[in-house]
Structure 1
Amino acid sequence: MARAVSDLASHLGYWLRYVSNHVSQAFARKLEDRDVTVAEWALLRELYGVEALSPSGLAEKLGLSRGAISKLAERLINKALVVRHADPSDRRAQSLTLTGQGRALVPKLAALADQNDAEFFSHLSAEERAGIERFLRDVVERRGLKSVPMD
């Protein structure tokens, strides 16, 4: 006898992805108006409030390869939002820093992230929101997930 085939909607992952896609796409559209991608936003936010970070440090924080960080950094350098500095004691070592323009942009982008979050989740009580966050953080921890969601 053939086993029953489960419906798409019977999977929690289906609902997580359904919501996640809509939340992410709405945020990406908001960032587009500022000529920034979600991945670029994540890198900018990591640089905000710190003097400088190495590409390898950013790669570790964001769960990306060093090559991916280099490509993101290059795009942000071309947009005059980030600068690259060589370490005077070791010319091979580099660090990335926000420009004044980049530093001024981050709070504006953070406000868009807050707005996007509110559009999707403001109907939740503080208790419901905390419960969902606790559940998701538990899944991240148990599965050892490292890369920051950016697509």
Structure 2
Amino acid sequence: MLRRLNRMGRPRSLRHPLQEFKAITVDKETTCDSFLGNYEAQMRCKAKAAPLEAHLGYWLRFVSNHVSHAFSLKLAQRDVTVAEWVVLRQLYEKESLAPSELAEGIGMTRGAISKLADRLEAKALIEIGRDQMDRRYQSLALTKAARALVPQLAVLADENDAAFFAHLTPAERAKVETILKDIVRLHGLRAVPIT
């Protein structure tokens, strides 16, 4: 007995021509109906998702969070934040620097630098110089107190690094550093980490 065919040459009993595609195999244990398959079968099908621990980014962030948090606690004892430390350290190498140059150098917005500069000025750690001829121009410079403080904070940074990485041999440390710098170079990463 012949079944009646629709214009597409398919049996009329089919609701949609694409329903011929019954199932796709995801792995040996799971078979999922196609996107037009029944809802119940799709709900039984679980897509595979790698665990967090399978991602290298997870481990980088895990270590980074702990290293940064420990350092921020050390800095907090000196009433300095990590972001303020980065600004102070960048200014330590210069007599003075325009906020725009500092912002570009550490990958922050000018607005963020302006807020940090105001906080550091309130703490008497930087001086904001203003040009008499051009009121728009500013320069940032460390105060004498800040010049004395930065080396002390650098010791805290060194101690924090040692607490987390002293177990690495010099060769292991160099390898990790080379790999991380290669990732920075490859992806053109510029912003200095401050959190």
Identify whether the pair has TM-score above 0.5, normalized to the shorter chain.
yes
Q: Could you list the per-position Cα deviations for residues 93-114 of structure 1 after superposition, in whole angstroms to 9, with x for gaps in the alignment?
A: 1100000011110000000000
**Structure 2 regions of 5+ residues with no counterpart?**
1-25, 27-45
Indicate the residue corresponding to 2:126 in structure 1.
82
Identity %: 58
- Describe the SS at the equivalent of 2:136: strand
CA distance in 1, matches of 2:140, 2:70: 28
**Structure 1 regions of 5+ residues with no counterpart?**
none
For normalisation by structure 2, the TM-score amounts to 0.75
More deviation in 40-49 or 80-89?
A: 80-89
Is 1:23 equivalent to 2:67 in the alignment? yes
Map 1:1-151; keep pairs closer than 5 Å: 1=26, 2-151=46-195
- Describe the SS at the equivalent of 2:194: coil
For normalisation by structure 1, the TM-score amounts to 0.97
Greater gyration radius: 2
CA distance in 2, matches of 1:84, 1:10: 48
Q: Could you list the per-position Cα deviations for residues 50-90 of structure 1 after superposition, in whole angstroms to 9, with x for gaps in the alignment?
A: 11000000000110000000000000000000000012442
Which amino acid in structure 1 is aligned with residue 100 of structure 2?
Answer: S
Instruction: Give me the CA root mean square deviation.
Output: 1.0
CA distance in 2, matches of 1:128, 1:87: 49
- Describe the SS at the equivalent of 1:135: helix
- Describe the SS at the equivalent of 1:92: coil
Which amino acid in structure 1 is aligned with residue 148 of structure 2?
Answer: A
Normalized per residue, which structure has more helix?
Answer: 1
Which amino acid in structure 2 is aligned with residue 24 of structure 1?
Answer: S
More deviation in 88-97 or 31-40?
A: 88-97
Q: Could you list the per-position Cα deviations for residues 99-150 of structure 1 after superposition, in whole angstroms to 9, with x for gaps in the alignment?
A: 0011110000000000000000001011100100010011111111111111
